[in-house]
Structure 1
Amino acid sequence: MAHRIFHYLLLGMVLLGSSVLQAQENSTYRLSSGDVISINVFGEEDLSFEELRLNDAGIFSFPFLGEIRARGLTASQLEDLLTERLKGDYLISPRVSISVLQYREFFISGEVREPGGYPYQPGLTLRRAIALAGGMTERASTNRITIIRDQSGSSEKGSLDSIVMPGDTITIDQGFF
């Protein structure tokens, strides 16, 4: 009996830890094209959207307000922007919440078995990204990996423990034998 209670307690701690990690990541995560968000304006069904994909410019259309540029904003910043713009002319005291439902893809090419775009998952490492792409080919080099960061456009040398972010482009080069 005690073993079963310990098991459920451990499972609960893992789930709580993963939701805390997700919340922390969402607080610093910058929105961009391809992200899918939900918008909830409390008590205003016509202004709430269960699933909204940001276009190529990171923009979406919102009733009464027109085009809203979300690219580069955190979910919290977007909440503040919508709250401020809805306040006064449209609503007295709007309460807006934004959730990221689906992150944009990351891309992996070069010496992997199945190059292409893959859905981002919070906590993704380069090792796991390579596994999603079917693993490395026999000619792949673990020392010649480049990651181009979507947010900054910077290029960096990657290791198998590097963190992958949404929109990143990863290239696995050939090793010299």
Structure 2
Amino acid sequence: MMRKLFYLIAAFAVMLTQNVNAEGLSDYRMSVGDLIKIQVYGEDELSTEVRLSDAGTISYPFFGELQVLGMTTGGLSGLLTERLKDGYLVDPSVSVSVLEYREFFIDGAVKQPGGYAYQPGLTLQRAVSLAGGFSERASSSKFFVVREGSGSNKPSKISLTAPIQPGDVITIEESFF
């Protein structure tokens, strides 16, 4: 019972701290495939839901195609606020949120390898559960991840409690004994 409570508290702590910087703002960097919602309060025609293109851009009224790859939701909100102030609206209030994160991928010794929808607070253990659990030959300690945008395609060893990010490629090795 206490062990389950510990895991529940640890998972909740990860969920609260993931992707939040010291100012309490999200430091999640948007990338290709994310679906975002832009809300301009009182201006329905400027509010939209849009998926980042394969070039990391979005199309937005008045401004056309905007490069948003790698931006945070707060950064995009600030950019749109400033640009809308410049001759379009007197005091715009812009909110940007991520509706759907891009997938993460899991392969190797799991029952259902493939791409899965990312959820904030996701750990390797939860990712394995989404993939149907470990196969009967799965290693109990050889788990690797390649992080999207890390600049390296070299797999890093991780633990079951490690946080998973959108775009991650996870490999669960097989055990021979």
TM-score by length of 2: 0.82
Distance 1:122 1:41, change over 3 A: same
Identity %: 54
Say which one has the larger Rg. Answer: 1
5+ residue gaps, structure 2: 1-12
> In the aligned structure 2, how far is the partner of 1:159 from the partner of 1:66?
43
Distance 1:114 1:153, change over 3 A: farther
Distance 1:128 1:116, change over 3 A: same
8 Å contact from structure 1 (residues 36, 54) kept in 2: yes
Q: Count how many residue pairs are aligned between Structure 1 and Structure 2.
A: 160
> In the aligned structure 1, how far is the partner of 2:100 from the partner of 2:71?
16
8 Å contact from structure 1 (residues 115, 133) kept in 2: yes
Amino acid at match of 1:93: D
Q: Structure 1 stretch 73-82 or stretch 53-62: which is displaced more?
A: 53-62
- Alpha-carbon deviation of 1:126? 0.3
2:38 aligns to what? 39
8 Å contact from structure 1 (residues 142, 159) kept in 2: no
Q: Structure 1 stretch 91-100 or stretch 126-135: which is displaced more?
A: 91-100
2:63 aligns to what? 65
Runs of 4+ in 1 over 4 A off after TM superposition: 17-23
SS at match of 1:28: coil
- Alpha-carbon deviation of 1:70? 1.5
Q: Report Cα offsets for 1:131-165 as digits up to 9, x if no partner.
A: 10011111111322110111324431011111111
Amino acid at match of 1:114: Q
Q: Equivalent residues in 2 for 1:129-140 (5 A)?
A: 129-140=127-138
- Alpha-carbon deviation of 1:102? 1.3
Amino acid at match of 2:59: S
SS at match of 1:170: strand
Structure 2 residue 20 is matched with structure 1 residue 24: yes
Higher helix share: 1
